[in-house]
């Protein structure tokens, strides 16, 4: 007996809907070092151990870090991202290219590259190695996916390099190192048409200093705002890594980090108060 026309039509709609594949998640890879995975381990709660099961650590070291913070932001924003990371302490992009290319050269949709904090460990402030290997990595990812969006994450000023004698930026304003690092990353972008942009993490830190939100000198014995640095005045604190992740979030997704608001779950998980979270979201939203 034939189906009534209405029922037959509904069945056709159901079959048509079932035939439409679900949209694939956007794949993103983070490449970096301890500035990406969240050292030092003494920071509490541990950024490096934040929700490691939500991301894929290609080295099998089961780290969460900034990539997991980013993943949590995307979930709150209703976005579908499949997040991977490949990190190693104290390494620049040259090391990842020379030692992990077979692991990382896959057809990702987006890639975030973060190199050594001084751009070159042997020659602080010299962007030549960064420029070379950012370009080589961008080419490797483009070869796997011609539509890949490769971004560079320019890191923050190190207080130990600025306020301690012997530091490469000793005696200069705390903002200077971040601006020099940004200029080096800009050179890398200009040298390769395959690099889509530079994420201004260090400048977001500078904005937090300028607004009075964050203490710009952990060595002077004065407490003037939150400390973006860890106790070593080198790596980030939970505040510093939260600000880094927020800045990456806005530049990768195009979403306003202030939309996360005072009730942001990541801030709550890290023990960051609502007012501070909102202020850090403002700092991330205000730099380009």
The tens digit of pLDDT for each residue in 179-233 reads 999 999 999 999 999 999 999 999 999 999 999 999 999 999 998 999 999 999 9
**DSSP-derived secondary structure for 246-258:** HHHHHHHH---GG
pLDDT > 90 in the chain, percent: 88
Residue-wise over 248-267: b if at least 16 C-beta within 10 A, else e? Answer: bbbbbbebebbebeeebebb
User: What is residue 44's predicted lDDT score, i.e. its pLDDT?
Assistant: 55
Asked if 160 and 233 touch (Cβ cutoff 8 Å), the reply is yes
pLDDT the model gives residue 15: 44
From 22-31, 58-67, 108-117, 267-276, the region with the lowest mean pLDDT: 22-31
- Give the Cα-Cα-Cα angle 98, 93, 66 (nearest 5 degrees): 125
Average pLDDT over residues 125-153: 98
Residue 196 neighbours by CB under 8 Å, 6+ apart: 149, 150, 151
Mean of pLDDT over the chain: 93
- Give the residue-averaged pLDDT of 114-124: 97
Instruction: Quote the pTM value.
Output: 0.92
Distances (CA, A) of 267 to 76, 193, 272, 281: 12, 36, 5, 10
pLDDT the model gives residue 23:
81
Alpha-carbon distance 199 to 267, whole Å? 21
Judge contact between 97 and 138, C-beta under 8 A: no
Predicted pLDDT at 9: 40
Give the bridge partners for 32, in sequence order.
87
Quick check: 267 and 238 in contact, CB under 8 A? no
Contact, 202 vs 155, CB < 8 A?
yes
The answer to whether 30 and 67 have CB atoms below 8 angstroms apart is: yes
> Which two tokens mark 10?
């509904």
Show the tokens assigned to 288: 């380009």
Compute the distance between CA of residue 236 and CA of residue 242 in angstroms, rounded to an integer: 9
**Mean pLDDT in residue range 221-248:** 96
CA 99 to mean position of chain CA atoms: 21
Q: In the structure encoding, which two tokens stand for residue 234, read together?
A: 């080198």
Please say whether the beta carbons of 83 and 51 come within 8 A. Answer: no
- Please answer whether residues 262 and 275 qualify as being in contact, where contact means their C-beta atoms are separated by less than 8 angstroms: yes
């Amino acid at each position: 007996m034939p189906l009534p026309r209405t029922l037959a039509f509904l069945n056709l709609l159901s079959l048509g809907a079932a035939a439409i594949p679900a949209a694939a998640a956007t794949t993103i890879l983070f490449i970096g070092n301890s500035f990406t995975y969240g050292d030092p381990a003494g920071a509490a709660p541990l950024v490096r151990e934040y929700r490691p099961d939500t991301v894929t650590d290609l080295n099998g070291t089961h780290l969460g870090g900034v990539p997991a913070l980013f993943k949590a932001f995307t979930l709150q924003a209703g976005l579908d991202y499949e997040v991977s990371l490949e990190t190693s302490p104290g390494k620049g992009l040259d090391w990842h290219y020379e030692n992990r290319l077979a692991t990382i050269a896959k057809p990702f949709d987006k890639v975030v590259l973060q190199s050594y904090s001084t751009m070159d460990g042997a020659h602080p402030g010299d962007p030549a190695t960064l420029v070379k290997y950012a370009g080589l990595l961008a080419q490797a990812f483009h070869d796997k996916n011609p539509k890949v969006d490769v971004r560079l994450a320019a890191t923050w000023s190190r207080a130990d390099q600025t306020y301690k004698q012997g530091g490469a930026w000793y005696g200069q304003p705390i903002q200077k190192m971040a601006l020099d690092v940004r200029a080096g990353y800009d050179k890398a972008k200009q040298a390769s048409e395959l690099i889509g942009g530079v994420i201004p993490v260090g400048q977001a830190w500078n904005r937090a200093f300028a607004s009075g939100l964050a203490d710009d000198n952990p060595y002077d014995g004065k407490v003037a705002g939150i400390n973006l640095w860890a106790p070593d005045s080198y790596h980030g604190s939970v505040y510093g890594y939260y600000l880094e992740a927020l800045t990456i979030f806005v530049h990768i997704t195009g979403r306003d980090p202030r939309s996360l608001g005072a009730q942001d779950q990541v801030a709550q998980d890290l023990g960051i108060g609502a007012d501070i979270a909102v202020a850090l979201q403002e700092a991330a939203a205000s730099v380009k």
